[in-house]
Chains A and B, each alone.
Chain A
């Protein structure tokens, strides 16, 4: 049994930032992750991080753009914190050693991004996530007091007496299952995009912490808001950064038209993501796509040097995964699942409804992104709210009684895992996963109908039943991916059901959630969050008002 004041689950940008803050508050901190911290999905973020550091720009403009981008579902008090802390947190990352691109005068260079009034996206070529992850991990490496548990998968979040007591986890290398007693726990396990097959997310993006918090009684929020990124490579679903359009890339349909002029006459390719994704899907559906069912992202006119210096990774991805050279030809693109606006519901202090339990980053929902996240606001959120979660977890832990996590808690998790592991026959996790992903792709996509959503709901109930018979053929205790696959599938099934339940309930179209039977935004009835809580009968739904401070909802034009 391990014992810490604060345990952070997940070691991407949000988790590391939380751990750094808690350890520098003088507490005994553990950080547990199923990947080595430098292998976290934060590394895959490409385009940049927003901070209103430009001469004309202001925090107020950043707040407004973010609220407008969210289709007015974001909580404006939380957005104000996000945008106010943006400058300081980016500068802090620079001081930690992050290598950013620079303007000629030596200041942090800024590029244009979707839905933003000014160039406010600080970047490091097209690997900003990697640059931040390296910079933060380097800073964290100073802290010899921090105990890092690499390649441990969380199995259980233990809550008793309304307070979190700790986590039970599996050491992937040895198969050992151990308890991690903690006075406060931060969930920062990132996204759950693997509910979809057409996702830009890494294979590890299975929502472990979000699902464990949900099972332990935490509310989820905004789960119906699933962002489809406009420009992905179909097939591999690898992301082509919005920075490509920020640098001047344009979209064309099969007829050679720059079609965004029909959908967003002012911002064109740099409208918000929901708008651009729907535009591409509509062009293809109405027969104006390329024969392969895509549109083209063109960078050729930018010139070889700009493309190869500022979009190096994109050039590599296109060559490696699509056999395309973006310097001389258009990149075939189609929208793919990219970001979950939803997650464990927190307030602007990163607190959940369970005392001692905090959440931050994509695993959480504050909500700063509402119904649609603006590009380059997610890296920002991981750092700002990761830090807030670390501060408040540290303060909560110092006031909390000692954890009562016991061997009985560990034994329960061991029994649950062995019930799956010792099964002699059943259905392979890959088969159930493929069926779940097919249902999510076909029926819970960019455009939604009640019939499709109901079909997905029924399918997921069936899959949940089949999951009770999931079969792990691999009996080894050493790095058993077959076993962790099966456990992660359980998390994904829970979260997929929460997504579908909320999507059925929201009878309006807002941001990323578009109902063909309710094509308009309905502020009179739906300017509110949907909360989802786990119950024996499945997802239980309730509401939470949206916090509006400065900006009353208006119609969106780009």
Chain B
């Protein structure tokens, strides 16, 4: 129990009115959650400060905000470490959602995307729900959901995501992680339709910056679920879409000579006509001294070959090893946690086919009939 002086700058004001920061200094134990500090300000100093909060135990998802620039749940972010980072604590409303007042934003853009993915089980005519009993589902199948059931819809990932700015079609990390939860659900009949929807809409707009993984207080790891979806979409639908062609072309491109051949990459991703459309961009690039010519192979190309061979041989990484012919090669279902959690550890099912449909339908069919 170490009491410290905690300077806190809190964003105040509404849109239109000039936003500003109010400065407070509190004496707090270093383990005090930011939410507790804010409620202390409300109770003892300024009751006009407004914020969303309810459960104070990271399960209702109400109190997400930016703490020293990072999207965080106020109830599980302790003041001590934040103070150590910046010497004070700066609290701002979440990003990507319009401000209402102080620390409260209008979450409509977030919920609108949630509802856009058809967030409910789609009927599977081939496998109606069993009458009067549950659908059987093995513990391994449950582990396919990865960490997605932990999502509390706090929108921290949504707030942190830089790709949401670029395209209104982009579903954002939470909705895509939610979509993943349905795609891998053996009870859901929308496998193809769901993948098709995101393949054309927004899957490839993810920048893979991993800010959503860093922001998520429940370790849902949305970016990894998006990678899983890309892998499944490529396999299920083929590489019909520039994004998927681009990702595969990229991998092959590097494999060839160790350096990016941008001319070939543009052709791979967009086709001849599409690539011609990129000509002005190519000319501009050349004018700025960037070569789009084919590079000679790099030195030590053999080492690169070893890396590619190694990747192709790794069961747990196979869904990342793309080839032109076979779409996605690989046997194991997505299990991409960089830090394996206990849930992920139980999910290794090396003999099960890719994607999750055949796994779930196969052994349990009798039970479903």
Residues of A within 8 A of B (CB): 35-36, 38-41, 43-44, 88, 90-91, 94-97, 99-108, 124-125, 127, 129-131, 134, 138-139, 141-142, 173, 202-204, 236, 238-239, 305, 308-309, 312-313, 316-317, 320-321, 323, 428-430, 434, 472-474, 476, 478-482, 485
Contacts and interface: CB of A to CB of B under 8 A. Distances in A.
B163 interface: no
Query: Binding site of B, secondary structure by majority: helix, strand, loop or mixed?
Result: loop
5 contacts: A39-B62, A97-B185, A106-B364, A321-B33, A479-B101
Contacts of B61: 38-39
Given A43-B55, A474-B50, A478-B100, A108 B121 contact: no
Given A36-B111, A309-B343, A481-B42, A41 B54 contact: yes
B153 interface: yes
B113 interface: no
B247 interface: no
Contacts of B166: none
B340 to A, nearest CB: 11
A459 B61 CA distance: 35
B139 to A, nearest CB: 5
B86 interface: no
Nearest to B103: A479
Contacts of A40: 60
Give 5 nearest A-B pairs by CB, closest first.
A106-B136, A474-B48, A430-B43, A202-B55, A309-B342
B88 to A, nearest CB: 22
B149 interface: yes
Contacts of A125: 149
A56 to B, nearest CB: 18
Nearest to B367: A106
A129 B55 CA distance: 13
B338 to A, nearest CB: 17
A476 B48 contact: yes
Contact of A474 (B47, B56, B104, B138): B47
A478 B14 contact: yes
B18 interface: no
Interface stretch (B20-28, B127-135, B257-265, B314-322): B127-135
Contacts of B51: 481
A141 B120 contact: yes
Given A95-B129, A102-B139, A43 B152 contact: yes
Contact of A305 (B76, B134, B342): B342
A323 B31 contact: yes
A312 B42 CA distance: 32
Nearest to B101: A478
Most-contacted residue by chain B among A90, A142, A202, A479 (CB, 10 A): A479
A364 to B, nearest CB: 21
Nearest to A143: B120
Contacts of A473: 47-48
B50 to A, nearest CB: 5
Given A107-B136, A238-B57, A139 B120 contact: yes
A91 B132 contact: yes
B346 interface: yes
A39 B54 contact: yes
A216 B133 CA distance: 42
Contacts of B343: 309
B254 interface: no
Contacts of A317: 57-58
A100 B33 CA distance: 31
B56 A202 contact: yes
A131 B115 CA distance: 18
Interface string B57-84: 1111110000000000000101000000
Contacts of B106: 173
B205 interface: no
B58 A316 contact: yes
A173 B55 contact: no
Contact of A203 (B50, B56, B153, B182): B56
Nearest to A319: B76
Contacts of B251: none
Nearest to B15: A478
B48 A482 contact: yes
A101 B134 CA distance: 12
Interface in B29-53: 31, 33, 42-44, 47-48, 50-53
Given A43-B55, A202-B60, A127 B150 contact: yes
Contacts of A130: 59, 149, 152
A138 B121 contact: yes
Nearest to A122: B134
B119 interface: yes
A127 B59 contact: yes
A479 B62 CA distance: 13
Nearest to B48: A474
A478 B100 CA distance: 7
B145 interface: yes
Contacts of B31: 323
Interface string B92-113: 0000000011101011000100
Contacts of A134: 149
A479 B104 contact: yes
Contacts of B76: 320
B56 A308 contact: no
B240 to A, nearest CB: 29
B187 interface: yes
Nearest to A38: B153
A194 B130 CA distance: 42
Contacts of A101: 139, 142
A493 to B, nearest CB: 17
Contact of A313 (B56, B59, B188): B59
A308 B57 contact: no
B286 to A, nearest CB: 51
A134 to B, nearest CB: 7
Nearest to A200: B57
A127 B62 CA distance: 17
A88 B76 CA distance: 37
A308 B141 CA distance: 19
Given A44-B57, A97-B121, A130-B59, A479 B142 contact: no
B311 interface: no
Nearest to B51: A481
B275 interface: no
Given A94-B135, A106-B367, A236 B50 contact: no
B137 interface: yes
Interface in B303-343: 341-343
Contacts of B55: 39, 41, 43-44, 202-204
A88 B51 CA distance: 40
Given A320-B76, A476-B48, A309 B59 contact: no
A434 B44 CA distance: 11
A433 B42 CA distance: 13
A558 to B, nearest CB: 29
Contacts of A308: 341-342
B120 A124 contact: no
Nearest to B187: A97
